[in-house]
Amino acid sequence: MASLHHSSAVKAAKVLMVGAGGIGCELLKTLALSGFQDIHIIDMDTIEVSNLNRQFLFRQSHVGQSKAMVARDAVLRFRPNISITPYHANVKDSDFNVEFFKQFNVVLNGLDNLEARRHVNRLCLAAEVPLVESGTTGFLGQVTVHAKGKTECYECQPKPAPKTYPVCTITSTPSKFVHCIVWAKDLLFAKLFGDKNQENDLNVRSSDASNSPENGEDVFERRDNENIEQYGRRIYDHVFGYNIEVALSNQETWKNRNRPKPIYSRDVLPGKLNHQNGNVDKSCATDDLSSVSTMASLGLKNPQDVWSLAENTRVFLESLKLFFASREKEIGNLSFDKDDQLAVEFVTAAANIRAASFGIPLHSLFEAKGIAGNIVHAVATTNAVVAGLIVIEAIKVLKKDIDNYRMTYCLEHPSKKMLLMPVEPFEPNKSCCVCSKSPLSLEINTHHSKLRDFVEKIVKAELGMNSPIIMHGVTLLYEVGDDLEEDMIANYTANLEKVLSELPSSVIGGTMLTVEDLQQELTCNIYIKHREEFDEEKEPDGMVLSGWTQAPLEKKDDNKKLVGNGGSTSTALPTEGQKEVELVEISEETEISGKKRKQPGISGDETNNHNEIQKLDVVDDGEDDLVILDQCDIDKKKKKRLQ
């Protein structure tokens, strides 16, 4: 009888899948094979070569095509009688509003970024449609169920922000290889091959007369009658030699740090650059510019080998030569792409040379690519396991079997002899501003910060609103929309450039602002607290949002137990985490839903996992930038007074 109910619930269900990547491909296949008859898929991405090792619905011939469309066609080949509706679009488009979401019985997420997840969470809350959320990273994974008013929503617990580094750390005092990668990718690569007019700290003038500050010459501009090898060596000597000498001239910086070593090309490669496979033109004779490779040109075979300083220097100079020989038309408009082989080779070499200068261990191209693309290399089996768990929870949702909802965590190492750790869902967090409408407070200098700062850093970045309306009492301070008249747009644009205290309805300490997103049907009240000083390193935005806190500590509830294989009653609970542990600062203790738990180590030591497991806020195919650079001056005091 239960089986019959299960079957009818599945066949009658209308399901929305968001994401057709690593998890999404496995999920669509599993839904089709489990009897689901009406499936809708939203994905804005097209298929890339790097997807093919784990997204098994796709083939080489599909590269460049819509993921949602191709996934549909692939599944219909073995389940031709079901309905699959693909949307090659962004889930944040206005077409996918609350009314659109209301038509579905359950929403299944296989997304790869926090912003889209938050957006879907809010639409599901507004439409009162249950959401099954998921994520994987390597061998780790998670599946969680979110039902309005019955379990916590996806945003009930604040998600750890990506680790940020001040510009001064990246440009002057790197101590980790990731710092060198960011320098090579976001500064050097961008300066050489991106917008030539962008300003960054690499553009220090050399001390020779022909390149003096008085001469006003841009170091990165190629000179007349300068061949590409001369240009490459001059850039090399400038960024790895002269700039390091400039940094060493500041004695205070190196009192408690290891001093870097300037590196000049003549010391590493005294003679001319020779590449193994003939001249540049031959190595570039291909219509597929993304396949141009320095490794092929130099005869380097294994991307997991760690190159010597001399090899990195050869790769650096040869990569530069290949860009100008085969892709000169693109120079000025390029941005780093982890699927661009030549770009990855250049960034790997540049990062390694800088690492050698600062005494940091060198890394292979394989490792560097993972860091530069913010990639934890995907494991197809984890995606398949997580997809199966999503379908199990979806069936429970359709049967309204709320007592048996589970948040399940995939572990890399056994805990209590289990690799899958099911946990009862937590109750909604009463201080969550998304599902519990709890007010927030914002500390900000109202005499210094502009409305634009508030919109970009708080409303969009922190609150994740796409089309915000900001009100002070009955006064509308800001609004976006296609139906606005020109005079209103001009008025709101002017408001963006005004400091808060000088707005038409002055925003000062004690003001309560109302921020609303009509598409998400979300409203937040924000209490403004004026504050003069901020710690530049710890509070680089010059504002602090609070009130969106973890649930308060309550008396231990022995009814909240893990339910595992063999009926384990361990009360071990997962903690908030992040996919790149090296890049994230996580507090030693976290209080969530009345439970106090410590951050576990992710290692082979079972004792580390025995009483605690990792709760992951992770993605399948990490595409986000690794680091956000915050401006700072190495010589400034940490405290500054905002004027």
Residues annotated catalytic, as ranges: 168
CB 309 within 8 A of CB 360: no
Phi, psi of 478 (to 5 degrees): -160, 145
- Residues near 623 by Cβ (< 8 Å), separated by ≥ 6? 112, 113, 373, 374
Amino acid at residue number 513: L
- Name the residue with tokens 């999503």: 390
Distances (CA, A) of 454 to 210, 278, 372, 419, 513: 46, 56, 30, 44, 11
Coil/strand/helix, residue 131? strand
Both tokens of 105, joined, read 């019985």
CB 592 within 8 A of CB 617: no
Segment (H or E) for 543 = strand 543-546
CA 51/CA 233 separation, integer angstroms: 36
Q: Which residue has the tokens 């100079």?
A: 317
12 phi/psi in degrees, rounded to 5: -85, -10
Burial (CB < 10 A; 0-12, 13-18, 19+), residue 116, is buried
Alpha-carbon span 252 to 250, nearest angstrom: 6
Dist. CA 187–CA 201, nearest whole Å: 8
Structure token digits, residue 414: 């056994």
Number of H helices, E strands in the chain: 20, 22
Please check whether residue 294 is in contact with residue 319, taking contact to mean a CB–CB distance below 8 angstroms.
yes
Element (H, E) at 370: helix 365-372
Distance of alpha carbon 242 from alpha carbon 233, whole angstroms:
12
DSSP for residue 242: I
Residue listed under structure tokens 């290889």: 177
